[in-house]
Structure 1
Amino acid sequence: MTCPADLLDLDDQLSDAELRVRDEVRGLVDQLRPSIPEWYEKAYFPTEIIPELARLGLLGMVYDGYGCPGRSAVEYGLAAVELEAGDSGLRTFVSVQGSLAMSAIHTHGSEEQKRQYLPGMAAGTIIGCFGLTEPNAGSDPAGMTTFARRDGDDWVINGAKRWIGLASIAHLAIIWAQTEDGVRGFIVPTDAPGFTATPITPKLSLRASIQCDLELADVRVPAAARLPGAAGLRGPFACLNDARYGIAWGVLGAARDSYLSALRYSRERLQFGRPIASFQLTQEKLARMAIGLTQGQLLALRLGRLKEAGRLEPQQISLGKLANTRTAIEIAREARTVLGGNGVAAEHSPLRHANNLESVRTYEGTDEIHTLVLGRHLTGIAAFR
């Protein structure tokens, strides 16, 4: 019988290595699953799982050398699906650490910076965060006001950042700042005088995850802290595209878990003397969820193969992030309706997934921004300003 979460037998399109990675991460998440509702309720991110994430090679997964795992783009995508099937907070940790902080150093850092930081980050002993968004500069990062000025051989950074994942547990922050020569990136130790990370609470979404406000007050770093390969906004945008790629896969985990929860419940829940799975309206909901999930799987796999071939374009990443996140939210919300009133209980995952996905659809580019990226590609006209 065809798997209800793989109607087109897409497993047949995966290699043994890809299936092995997926199954290993799925096994870990299955072990964590009983604790996830409590983590969400208590707004707790389980730092104790970081060594296991590192052991499975999930930190900086696609990068080569410097202790990094060097796995494929599809393997990373499959891992993101399994993590987010548990909770978006799990996938977000891996994304911030690997696709943002480690990506910045691996792509734009000096040889000395790579050797100094990447092995520890891949091992999970050094945690990083990525400071781009500001209180008044989210979708328009060119409007950032954080500024780094030269002072002898040092740089002195002043400014504020907001919604910065992992910042309160991080050892280093990748800080993007305006300079006299345009936007530049800096590796800033989080214990530097003048650096303050304050967790944002309370939250209605991504509760089992850490997001912070940052204040940088005369934070002094040496010249060697600047990322030499990053000039202008192309630097952070390259990292954001890596993260967006992972999101296009990861949200399907939340969608799949929501759909399977609804499917199981519909078979067990009796109304009018019959399981609700026997009613046409319920079957229509389940069929609609299965179609959306399957379309998302096909899109993600195509993006992965393009990325492995070195042919993935920014507008294609925007397509994947926008379409799959929208689909995942619709599935999670529809799944909650199948569960009826019981769907608001913490023992059931769809509403938690739906709440989390509201954050995921906003970070790394809102629906509106990705729509305009596609619009620019289709028309040749930029409508951002």
Structure 2
Amino acid sequence: MTRDVGAPRVVVGVGGGIAAYKAAELIRRLRSGGAEVTVVPTPAALEFVGAATFEALSGRPVATDVWTEIPAVQHVHTGQHTDLVVIAPATADLMARAATGRADDLLTATLLVTRAPVLMAPAMHTEMWTHPATVDNVATLRRRGTVVLDPAVGRLTGADSGPGRLPDPEHIAALAELLLQRPDALPQDLAGRRVLITAGGTREPLDPVRYLGNRSSGKQGFALALVAAARGAAVTLVAANTSLPTPPAVDVVPVGDARELQAAVQFHLPGSDVVVMAAAVADFRPVDVRGDKIKKTPGTTPDPIALTTNPDILAGLVRDRAGARNPVIVGFAAETGDADGTVLEHGRAKLARKGCDLLVVNPVDAGRAFGTEDNEAVLLGADGSAVEVALTGKHALAARIWDAVTPLLP
């Protein structure tokens, strides 16, 4: 079979757990993103999903043992000729065998051969995830450079719920794409750190039906949360009016308007090492909120809506921070150029007013930034530095932002 020259080569390893069926969606997403996918299931995985399914989705033959295609020395060839290995689900058994260097099937043998980045997405029962043996195996794999995600929290097999659910294939695919772009994008440099992030756009109610809002989808804030968690942080995400899936191992706090967002930030602020204000917070809110719907009466002009200013949450954080655990504060500025200045000039002025440690300046004219999959920015530092990030995926921008934040941590 000829390969698509230039396409990234991804090995998808599938462990023998009930979540193996979700690997099908992951394969579809990777192929839709342009990757050439080779599926290497464990023998146990084929008890859950047949080889025909994986072959149909990947367009390539499937094998589980080293005795297939012996002349090609398949585990060596596969391990040497891949750009990324993604294992989903990574079961407790599979991670134990990988951590101890076993090579008793094609997948573990491939892991010993490859020098490509390895991304593992665990899935198992909570008691298995928290068992000291699994904890030690995960620590060993991470120490060797394997990116091991924390599992999601949710419904497991049977009636149980808790940590151990396979992360959403959308999130696994996003991190896989990031590693294909930058193999060093997910170091464990935020391990032991607590991160507080805001995302989405606030809505200021006018009446029970209407509100003043903005176009923010929350995608950049959610990308920041996903990448921070993958880099080892404990993440709290204050999300204003979003419908995005929760990133694995991220605690999401839903809010509605600016004052709710401010209260949530103040509540979760103690103990945070970093605060990232990525949410688009409304500058104004109606003075009076009607208890009934404002009616449209033909032939009449609606009454003017009086507005008042919302609290400046970012400036307040900078003003009030103190103490030994003084968080690094990152702000966002969605800017357009006008007669008074360029996007960058407005960004520099905002950084001077707000006094935060880092300001992410996004140009938002011509349909850019809001609701899109890509973003561009200039990262302005309080030290006068300016790092331009050309148009890229929001997860790639998130990684660049965390690259800029970690040197600021004590």
TM-score, normalization by structure 2: 0.25
Query: Comparing both chains, which one has the higher relative contact order based on Cα–Cα distances under 8 Å and sequence gaps of 6 or more?
Result: 1
TM-score, normalization by structure 1: 0.26
Query: Structure 1 or 2: larger helix share?
Result: 1
For the pair shown, the structure with the greater C-alpha radius of gyration is 2
Query: Structure 1 or 2: larger strand share?
Result: 2
